[in-house]
């Protein structure tokens, strides 16, 4: 079951005796585990009946012995094993326990990437309640951000949702912290909406999430799309001067090129604007301008620009030139349509595969 189904499961009175919580999204895993512990044991008795182990250092004998020990003044005890993928159980003691678990113990295995081919995890899949928390897809992020904002008394505009996703990616813990910062910021500057949801505009996101920078990375991306060399260079220097990390700037430029290639592929295939918009999600007002910019680029120019971004990445990570020079040179070449970048076949093949409809 997924995260939402898991949370609903914990609202039931009856809990399973064994759980496997898996997935690469630590925030959702943490919330599931927190809710399970809340449901599984009285907080006042947790010190006596809640036990935490790590897979790389546990003794299966100790875990089984603890699980078979009667809880103290509580209907059950809870045992959590983190990093369960590192468990070594040559004697099969945990496997034997899973086939006949103690009715007064709740055993929880937590693993980011369980290998379901291993005997322990294949047995858990068969006998335990399994909950998975994979990282959210880009298309799922706006709804999640809006939901988290609602919990904090915030209502995001569509453009604000998109900006947060673009700034922060799919790191839910980071997004959660930034949402809390936005709430604190609006509580200070807006005292007229007591008891009502506070409106979060794109401008608020730019101020809070960008660290108060006067210019955003999206202005630079727009200048690149328009091949406005002087504006792009000016914005680059302003961003660097205000503390933007060179690798962050390059990663956003590269991401923009991927989106441009997707849109260009759709244009060249004669697809309708609505179909292209599904592949390149962004607020309608921004998409119209973006699509107009893409029309000024050929697919060959975009792929050449991607090769240039790969070269810049290597120079930033191991070259002798300053980051400012590397990025300035890249922007000059991109805005002039330079097609002489060294091509790396494997990377460009991956780029073409990722930008195909």
pLDDT digits (tens, 9 = 90+) for 198-209: 899 988 888 888
Per-residue pLDDT at 349: 44
pLDDT, tens digit, for every residue of 65-116? 999 999 998 889 999 999 999 999 999 999 999 999 999 999 999 999 999 9
Residue 14 tokens read as 């009856």
Per-residue pLDDT at 241: 87
Residues 150-175: what's their mean pLDDT? 88
Q: In which domain, by residue range, is 80 found? A: 3-132
Residue 13: other Cβ atoms inside 10 A = 5
Task: Judge if 78 and 200 occupy the same domain.
Answer: no
Q: What is the CATH number of the domain that holds 196?
A: 1.10.8.60
Q: What is the CATH number of the domain that holds 322?
A: 1.20.272.10
Per-residue pLDDT at 195: 60
Residues 4-15: what's their mean pLDDT? 88
Task: Judge if 258 and 350 occupy the same domain.
Answer: yes
The whole-angstrom separation of Cα 299 and Cα 297 is: 7
Task: Convert 187-237 into a string of H (helix), E (strand) and C (coil).
Answer: HHHCCCCCCCCEEECHHHHHHHHCCCCCCCHHHHHHHHHCCCHHHHHHHHH
Residues 162-183: what's their mean pLDDT? 88
What one-character DSSP code corresponds to residue 41? S
- Identify the bridge partners of residue 110 per DSSP, sorted by sequence position: 21
Q: Is residue 208 within 8 Å of 180, Cβ to Cβ? A: no
Per-residue pLDDT at 356: 59
Domain tally for the chain?
3
Residue 170 tokens read as 């799919």
The whole-angstrom separation of Cα 210 and Cα 217 is: 9
Q: What is the CATH number of the domain that holds 113?
A: 3.40.50.300
């Amino acid at each position: 079951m997924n995260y939402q189904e898991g949370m609903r499961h914990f609202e039931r009175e009856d809990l399973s005796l064994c759980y496997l919580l898996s997935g690469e999204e630590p925030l959702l895993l943490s919330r599931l585990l927190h809710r399970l512990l809340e449901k599984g044991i009285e907080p006042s008795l947790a010190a006596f009946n809640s036990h935490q182990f790590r897979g790389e250092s546990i003794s299966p004998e100790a875990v089984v012995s603890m699980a078979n020990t009667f809880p103290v003044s509580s209907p059950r005890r809870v045992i959590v094993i983190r990093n369960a993928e590192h468990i070594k159980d040559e004697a099969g003691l945990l496997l034997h326990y899973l086939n006949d678990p103690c009715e007064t113990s709740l055993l929880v295995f937590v693993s980011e990437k369980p290998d379901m081919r291993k005997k322990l995890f294949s047995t858990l899949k068969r006998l335990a309640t399994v909950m998975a928390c994979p990282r959210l897809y880009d298309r799922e992020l706006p709804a999640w951000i809006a939901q988290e904002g609602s919990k904090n008394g915030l209502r995001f505009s569509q453009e604000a949702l998109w900006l947060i996703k673009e700034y922060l990616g799919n790191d839910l813990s980071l997004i959660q912290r930034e949402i809390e910062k936005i709430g604190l910021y609006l509580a200070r500057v807006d005292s007229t909406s007591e008891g009502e949801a506070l409106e979060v505009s794109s401008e608020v996101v730019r101020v809070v999430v960008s660290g108060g920078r006067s210019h955003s990375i999206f202005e630079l991306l727009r200048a690149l799309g328009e091949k406005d060399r002087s504006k792009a260079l000016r914005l680059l220097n302003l961003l660097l001067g205000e503390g933007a990390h060179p690798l962050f700037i390059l990663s956003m430029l590269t991401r923009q090129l991927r989106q441009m290639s997707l849109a260009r592929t759709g244009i060249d295939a004669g697809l309708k604007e609505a179909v292209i918009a599904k592949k390149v999600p962004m607020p309608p007002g921004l998409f119209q301008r973006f699509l107009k910019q893409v029309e000024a680029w050929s697919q060959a120019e975009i792929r050449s620009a991607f090769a240039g971004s790969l070269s810049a990445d290597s120079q930033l990570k191991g070259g002798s030139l300053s980051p400012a020079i590397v990025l300035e040179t890249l922007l000059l070449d991109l805005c002039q349509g330079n097609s002489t970048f060294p091509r790396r076949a494997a990377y460009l093949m991956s780029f073409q595969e990722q930008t195909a409809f």
